[in-house]
C-alpha cells in the first residue's frame, strides 16, 4: 500500500506570535530583544507551542517598528545580531520549536540603500525598483489611490519632480514587482534565511504587493461594500488582489520546496471575501496558510462566529487549511475586544481557538488573558496615532510588554527601567497564574496539551451540531464535541453524552454528561462523546 501523505508540521502546530520589542529585555534598555526570546524558551516549551512567529527583526529606522526595513540581510541592532538569530534557531530547535520570521516585500524603508539609490536620479540603476509616476498634465496626482495609513499613496520627490507610490507611510515606498530584479532579490533573501534554518515566513500585506501596471484609478465605494473593503474610502480593485500577485507566491512556494521540510508561507490577507482569501492558497502551489480577518473581526456571539467559521469551511473545502487567530499587533487584543476583560469569556475564547479545524496562532499574552493597555498621549509610539490623531487609537495598547512577574519591571526589564510602552495589570503575570490550576494560563496550556494528544482536534473534520440559541456546538472528527455558551444564562444542550475533557470552568473537567450538557454563562467545554458522529454531518460534504 502507498504510504499516506505526510502531514506537514504546521497542520499540527500551535504558533505563538512574538512582538520582540515587548517580550523580554535582557540588557536593561526597556526594549525586548532576541536574547530575551532565547531566555524564555523554557517557558514557551512548557506552554507547548510548536513555532514562534517573530514580527520583523530586520534593520529598520522604526518608523513602523520593523515594517520599514532598511536591510533584509541583517538584524536590528536593538534586537540582536545574526549570531543571536542562529543561536535562537538552534536552541529553539532543541525544544522542538521552529522560528517563523516576518517578511515585508511590498515596501522598504525610504532609508534602504535601494531607495536612496533609486531617488538619487531619474536614470539611476535602481530607479525602477520602486513605483514612480509623473504628475498628470494639470499637475494633479498620478491617480486617486489612498494609503492604508491615510492620505494619498503618492509622495512628491522634489528633485526629480516625480511621485513615488507608498501604500503605507510616505517613508515606506512600495517596491515595483513588475521589475524582475526585485523578484530575484527576494529569492535571495528567502534563501538567505531558509539556509540559516528559518522554518517559514509570515508575508506582510500579501495581497497588495503587485499593483496595476497602468495605475488605473480605483472606483468609488458601493453601499454594499463590506467593512474591510471600505477602509480606504474606495474600492481597491487596481491596488489589491491583482491576478499577477499569485505568480509571485507561486515563485516563492517553489523556493520553499527546495528545502526539506518544505518551508512555510503564511499570508497576511486583510480581506472580507473568504473566496478571495482561498485563492491565495492556489492549487497547493501558493501560500500554505492565510490569516482569516473576517474571523478576527467577527462579533463574539455564537451566531457571528458560527457563520464565519462555516463560511470559511465552505470557501476552503477540505484541501485548504485555515488559520485561527484572535489578537495580533495591529488589532485590539481579544480579551478586551471580544471579552471586555471577563475571565470566563477569555477562557471560552481560548477553548474555541484551540479546538477549531486549522492552525491556531496565539499572540504573546493571549495565554494570560492580557488585555489592551491604555497608553498616555505623551507615550504613544505608533506612528499611526500621530498621523491620524483623534481618528485612530493607534496600535500601542496591544503591543505592551509581556507580564512575567508581579513586581517592578514585571520580569520584562530591570525594575528601575521604564519600558518603551507601559505595563498592564501585573496581576495577570505568568508568575501569578502558573501554579493556579484555575488560571487562564493553565487552561491555555492544558488545551494545547489536549490538542497534541487528540487526533480529532488536530486533524478531524468539522461539523456544526444543533444547539439552543446563544450556544455554538461543533464536533471534531468522530468523537470530540465542543460546546460554547455565549449567553449570560445557564443553558441545557440536549443530546450530548460523554465525558468533559476540559471545561473553561475547570471544576467540571472529567464530569460525566449523561445526555444533557449544562453550561453556565460564558462557559465552554470539550467533550469526548459516547456517540459516534459520521462525516456526513460535515459542512462541505453537505453542500
Ligand atoms: C501589516 C503589519 O501587520 C502592520 O503592522 C504594518 O504597519 C503594515 N502591514 C505595513 O507594513
Ligand atoms: Ca533590550
pLDDT band at 321 (very low <50, low <70, confident <90, very high): very high
User: What pLDDT, on a 0 to 100 scale, did the predictor assign at position 103?
Assistant: 99
Query: Ligand 1 atom 6: the closest Cα is on which residue?
Result: 67
Q: Evaluate if pTM is beyond 0.85.
A: yes
User: What pLDDT, on a 0 to 100 scale, did the predictor assign at position 281?
Assistant: 98
Q: Where are the alpha helices (DSSP H) in 394-538?
A: 430-434, 440-453, 455-459
Strands 480-485 and 471-476: antiparallel
Pocket of ligand 1 from Cβ distances under 6 Å: 64, 67, 104, 168, 204-205, 268, 329-330
Cβ-contact 329, 272 below 8 angstroms: no
pLDDT band at 6 (very low <50, low <70, confident <90, very high): confident
Centre of ligand 1 to C-alpha 204, Å, is 6
Centre of ligand 2 to C-alpha 400, Å, is 14
Mutate to test the pocket of ligand 1, among 330, 332, 361, 386 (most ligand atoms within 8 A of CB): 330
- 2.60.40.1180, 2.40.50.140, 3.40.50.300, 1.10.260.30: which CATH number matches 461-542? 2.60.40.1180
What gap in Å lies between CA 226 and CA 230, rounded to an integer?
6
**Does the structure show a pLDDT above 90 at 398?**
yes
User: What pLDDT, on a 0 to 100 scale, did the predictor assign at position 9?
Assistant: 97
Percentage of residues of the chain with pLDDT beyond 70: 97
User: What pLDDT, on a 0 to 100 scale, did the predictor assign at position 282?
Assistant: 98
Q: Which ranges in the chain are annotated with CATH 3.20.20.80? A: 9-105+180-450
Query: Across-strand partners of 202?
Result: 102, 266
Centre of ligand 2 to C-alpha 82, Å, is 16
Cβ-contact 529, 537 below 8 angstroms: no
Instruction: Catalytic residue, from 50, 204, 286, 396: name it.
Output: 204
Ligand in closest contact with the CA of 168: 1
- pLDDT tens digit sequence for 486-514: 999 999 999 999 999 999 999 999 999 99
Instruction: Catalytic residue, from 86, 184, 258, 466: name it.
Output: 258
Mutate to test the pocket of ligand 1, among 21, 54, 67, 296 (most ligand atoms within 8 A of CB): 67
**Does the structure show a pLDDT above 50 at 536?**
no
pLDDT band at 448 (very low <50, low <70, confident <90, very high): very high
**Does the structure show a pLDDT above 90 at 163?**
yes
pLDDT band at 538 (very low <50, low <70, confident <90, very high): very low
**Does the structure show a pLDDT above 70 at 539?**
no
- pLDDT tens digit sequence for 165-217: 999 999 999 999 999 999 999 999 999 999 999 999 999 999 999 999 999 99
- pLDDT tens digit sequence for 464-488: 999 999 999 999 999 999 999 999 9
Centre of ligand 2 to C-alpha 62, Å, is 15
Picking from 215, 202, 203, the residue whose alpha carbon sits closest to that of residue 242 is 215
Query: Ligand 1 atom 4: the closest Cα is on which residue?
Result: 330
Q: What is the mean pLDDT of the chain?
A: 95
Q: Where is 84: in which H helix or E strand?
A: helix 82-94
Fold designation for 9-105+180-450:
TIM Barrel (3.20.20)
Q: Which ranges in the chain are annotated with CATH 3.90.400.10? A: 113-165
Residue 99, phi then psi, degrees to nearest 5: -115, 125
Q: Please tell me the CATH code under which domain 113-165 is placed.
A: 3.90.400.10
**Does the structure show a pLDDT above 70 at 4?**
no
User: What pLDDT, on a 0 to 100 scale, did the predictor assign at position 246?
Assistant: 98
**Does the structure show a pLDDT above 60 at 158?**
yes
User: What pLDDT, on a 0 to 100 scale, did the predictor assign at position 389?
Assistant: 72
Ligand 1, atom nearest to 270 Cα: 1
pLDDT band at 542 (very low <50, low <70, confident <90, very high): very low
**Does the structure show a pLDDT above 90 at 8?**
yes
Ligand in closest contact with the CA of 78: 2
Cβ-contact 302, 335 below 8 angstroms: no
Q: Which ranges in the chain are annotated with CATH 2.60.40.1180? A: 461-542
pLDDT band at 531 (very low <50, low <70, confident <90, very high): confident
pLDDT band at 354 (very low <50, low <70, confident <90, very high): very high
Going from the C-alpha of 509 to that of each of 30, 38, 338, 352, 525, the distances in angstroms are 41, 34, 24, 16, 8
Burial 293-319, CB ≥16 within 10 A → b, else e: bbbbebebebebbbebbbbbbebbeee
- pLDDT tens digit sequence for 401-444: 999 999 999 999 999 999 999 999 989 999 999 999 999 999 99
**Does the structure show a pLDDT above 80 at 5?**
no
User: What pLDDT, on a 0 to 100 scale, did the predictor assign at position 393?
Assistant: 79
29 grid coordinates: 534598555
- pLDDT tens digit sequence for 49-58: 999 999 999 9
258 in active site: yes
Centre of ligand 1 to C-alpha 329, Å, is 9
User: What pLDDT, on a 0 to 100 scale, did the predictor assign at position 132?
Assistant: 98
431 in active site: no
Ligand 1, atom nearest to 107 Cα: 11
- What's the whole-number mean pLDDT along residues 133-151? 96
**Does the structure show a pLDDT above 70 at 541?**
no
Q: Is the dihedral of CA 356, 357, 362, 368 positive or negative?
A: positive
Amino acid at each position: 500500500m502507498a504510504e499516506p501523505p505526510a502531514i506537514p508540521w504546521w497542520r499540527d502546530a500551535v504558533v505563538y506570535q512574538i512582538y520582540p520589542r515587548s517580550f523580554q529585555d535582557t540588557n536593561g534598555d526597556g526594549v525586548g530583544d532576541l536574547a530575551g526570546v532565547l531566555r524564555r524558551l523554557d517557558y514557551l516549551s512548557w506552554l507547548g507551542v510548536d513555532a514562534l512567529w517573530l514580527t520583523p527583526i530586520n534593520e529598520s529606522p522604526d518608523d513602523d517598528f520593523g515594517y520599514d526595513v532598511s536591510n533584509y540581510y541583517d538584524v536590528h541592532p536593538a534586537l540582536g545580531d545574526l549570531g543571536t538569530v542562529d543561536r535562537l534557531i538552534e536552541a529553539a530547535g532543541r525544544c522542538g520549536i521552529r522560528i517563523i520570521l516576518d517578511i515585508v516585500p511590498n515596501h522598504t524603508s525610504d532609508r534602504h540603500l535601494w531607495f536612496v539609490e533609486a531617488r538619487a536620479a531619474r536614470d539611476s540603476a535602481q530607479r525602477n525598483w520602486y513605483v514612480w509616476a509623473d504628475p498628470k498634465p494639470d499637475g494633479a496626482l498620478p491617480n486617486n489611490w489612498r494609503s492604508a495609513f491615510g492620505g494619498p499613496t503618492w509622495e512628491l520627490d522634489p528633485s526629480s519632480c516625480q511621485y513615488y507610490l507608498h501604500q503605507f507611510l510616505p517613508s515606506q515606498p512600495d517596491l515595483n514587482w513588475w521589475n524582475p530584479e526585485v523578484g530575484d532579490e527576494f529569492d535571495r533573501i528567502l534563501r538567505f534565511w531558509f539556509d540559516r534554518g528559518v522554518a517559514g515566513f509570515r508575508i506582510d500585506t500579501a495581497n497588495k504587493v503587485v499593483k496595476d501596471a497602468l495605475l488605473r484609478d480605483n472606483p468609488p465605494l458601493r453601499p454594499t461594500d463590506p467593512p474591510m473593503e471600505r477602509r480606504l474610502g474606495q474600492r481597491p480593485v487596481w491596488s489589491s488582489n491583482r491576478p499577477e500577485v499569485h505568480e509571485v507566491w507561486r515563485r516563492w512556494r517553489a523556493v520553499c520546496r527546495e528545502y526539506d521540510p518544505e518551508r512555510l508561507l503564511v499570508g497576511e490577507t486583510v480581506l472580507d471575501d473568504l473566496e478571495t482569501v482561498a485563492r491565495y492558497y492556489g492549487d497547493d502551489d501558493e501560500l500554505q496558510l492565510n490569516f482569516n480577518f473576517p474571523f478576527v473581526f467577527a462579533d463574539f456571539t455564537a451566531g457571528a462566529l458560527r457563520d464565519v467559521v462555516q463560511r470559511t469551511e465552505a470557501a476552503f473545502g477540505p484541501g485548504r487549511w485555515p488559520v485561527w487567530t484572535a489578537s495580533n499587533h495591529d488589532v485590539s487584543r481579544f480579551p478586551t475586544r471580544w471579552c471586555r476583560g471577563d475571565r470566563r469569556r477569555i477562557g471560552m475564547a481560548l477553548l474555541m481557538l484551540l479546538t477549531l479545524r486549522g492552525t491556531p496562532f496565539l499572540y504573546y499574552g493571549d495565554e494570560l488573558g492580557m488585555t489592551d493597555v491604555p497608553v498616555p498621549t505623551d507615550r504613544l509610539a505608533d506612528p499611526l496615532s500621530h498621523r491620524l490623531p483623534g481618528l485612530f487609537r493607534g496600535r500601542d495598547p496591544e503591543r505592551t510588554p509581556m507580564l512575567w512577574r508581579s513586581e517592578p519591571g514585571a520580569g520584562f526589564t530591570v525594575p528601575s527601567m521604564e519600558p518603551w510602552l507601559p505595563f498592564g495589570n501585573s496581576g495577570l503575570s505568568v508568575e501569578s497564574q502558573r501554579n493556579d490550576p484555575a488560571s487562564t494560563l493553565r487552561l491555555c496550556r492544558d488545551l494545547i496539551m489536549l490538542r497534541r494528544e487528540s487526533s480529532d482536534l488536530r486533524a478531524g473534520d468539522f461539523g456544526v451540531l444543533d444547539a439552543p440559541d446563544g450556544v455554538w456546538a461543533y464536533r471534531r472528527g468522530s468523537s470530540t464535541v465542543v460546546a460554547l455558551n455565549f449567553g449570560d444564562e445557564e443553558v441545557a444542550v440536549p443530546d450530548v453524552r460523554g465525558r468533559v475533557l476540559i471545561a473553561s470552568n475547570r471544576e467540571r473537567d472529567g464530569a460525566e454528561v449523561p445526555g444533557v450538557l449544562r453550561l453556565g454563562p460564558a462557559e465552554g467545554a470539550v467533550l469526548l462523546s459516547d456517540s459516534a458522529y459520521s462525516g456526513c454531518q460535515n459542512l462541505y460534504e453537505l453542500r
